[in-house]
Amino acid sequence: MKKEMKLEFDALPENEGFARVTVAAFLTSLNPTLEEVEDVKTAVSEAVTNCIIHGYGFGYEPVMDQDKEPEGEEKPVPKVYITCAIENDTVSIEIKDKGIGIENIKQAMEPLFTTKPELERSGMGFAFMEAFMDKLFVESNPGKGTTVRMEKKCGHSFRKADEE
Amino acid sequence: MSSFLLQKKSKRGGKKVEERVLEEKFQIVDNYLVVKVPEELDHHQAAYVRQYADKYLLDESIEHIVFDFEHTKFMDSSGIGMIVGRYKKVSSFGGKILIANAGERIRKILFLSGLSDMIEWID
């Protein structure tokens, strides 16, 4: 039986933790190992962070001035969209933004490549997603947004079947 | 006082070490800045660590940075970027980056990103 979950939230750095924990909680019905949960959490964190800093270009407000009220009119905060599905022993996660998109996906996926060295991005985001998940697909329309789709087989039942 | 540094110092011949507590999670022990890494080192938290670490690097006479991962359960590539950034700063003056109490998960991520050549481990 297929199970689904949808999540839509403000593209703000403080929501990254909430997003990965929610996906991890959804995963529990697969009875995953601790390592699998951590793998998924890391991959989700990478993808969501990409939406926020690259898709929507939220650099960073200096942490020390966090308490200051923002001046001027408040702009609506764009959203990050996550859709998760569990089918048999596989979880698929789709993470989408409606931001600037990626011109050259191949280049973006190269380890250590980053367009934001001034923010100390390591350029390891896609490499981590690839390393921690079984499958990774990236689709992007410049000016319209980016969708990252990932899949991973999880859970004890899958390993047991493998051993037999 | 972070016990691993105390051990390191006592091996060098127990001179009294100077110790100062700054912002929560930051400590200066001699010429080491000790950072207690937050529980989850993501983009949000990495920005916080980066900002204060750089402030102390600028204001105080610090040569090396110790990242203490004792309480850290989660790290992503933002943490890697933050460590590499600090490495660039201290290494240009001969300083080192030391990693303390890193669990299996944190080690895996550090190795995967090829950071293991830049850092020293304290256990």
Give the ipTM.
0.81
Please determine, for residue A61, whether its predicted confidence score (pLDDT) is greater than 70. Answer: no
Please determine, for residue B13, whether its predicted confidence score (pLDDT) is greater than 90. Answer: no
pLDDT (0 to 100) of residue A108:
95
Residue B4 banded pLDDT, cuts 50, 70, 90: low
Identify which has the larger pLDDT, B61 or A51.
Answer: A51
Please determine, for residue B14, whether its predicted confidence score (pLDDT) is greater than 90. Answer: no
Residue of A63, A122, A128, A129 to mutate, interface with B, max B Cβ within 10 Å: A122
B81 touches chain A (CB under 8 A): yes
A3-41 pLDDT, tens digit per residue, is 999 999 999 998 999 999 999 999 999 999 999 999 999
A122 and B113 within 8 Å at the Cβ level: the answer is yes
Please determine, for residue A62, whether its predicted confidence score (pLDDT) is greater than 60. Answer: no
Residue A59 banded pLDDT, cuts 50, 70, 90: low
Pairing of strands B40-41, B74-75: parallel
pLDDT (0 to 100) of residue A58:
82
**H-helix or E-strand containing A147?**
strand A145-153
Percent of residues, chain A, with pLDDT higher than 90 = 76
Please determine, for residue A139, whether its predicted confidence score (pLDDT) is greater than 80. Answer: yes
Closest chain A CA to residue B46: A120
Catalytic positions of A are 46, 50, 121
Distances (CA, A) of A151 to A1, A92, A137, B8, B109: 17, 4, 9, 45, 20
Fold (topology level) of B25-122: Transcription Regulator spoIIAA (3.30.750)
B105 touches chain A (CB under 8 A): yes
Average pLDDT, chain A: 88
pLDDT (0 to 100) of residue B99:
97
pLDDT (0 to 100) of residue B8:
59
Between CA B27 and CA B32, with CA B29 as vertex, the angle to 5 degrees is 90
Residue A119 banded pLDDT, cuts 50, 70, 90: confident
Chain A CB contacts of B80 under 8 Å are 122, 124
Cα–Cα distance between A53 and B77 in angstroms, integer?
Answer: 13
Closest chain B CA to residue A49: B43
Please determine, for residue A97, whether its predicted confidence score (pLDDT) is greater than 90. Answer: yes
Cα–Cα distance between B64 and A3 in angstroms, integer?
Answer: 50
Those residues of chain A whose CB sits closer than 8 Å to some CB in chain B are 13-14, 16-17, 20, 35, 38, 41-42, 45-46, 49, 52-53, 60, 62-64, 119-125, 127-128, 131
B31-77 pLDDT, tens digit per residue, is 999 999 999 999 989 999 999 999 999 888 899 999 999 999 999 99
For residue A90, what are its two tokens? 């596989």
Please determine, for residue A159, whether its predicted confidence score (pLDDT) is greater than 60. Answer: no
pLDDT (0 to 100) of residue B22:
74
Q: What backbone torsions phi and psi does residue B30 show, to the nearest 5 degrees?
A: 55, -125
Å from A1 to nearest chain B CA? 31
Domain boundaries, chain A: 3-60+76-163
What would the mean pLDDT of A63-88 be, rounded to a whole number?
75
The total number of residues written for chain A in this structure: 164
CATH superfamily, domain A3-60+76-163, is Histidine kinase-like ATPase, C-terminal domain (3.30.565.10)
> How many Cβ atoms sit within 10 Å of the Cβ of residue B57?
18
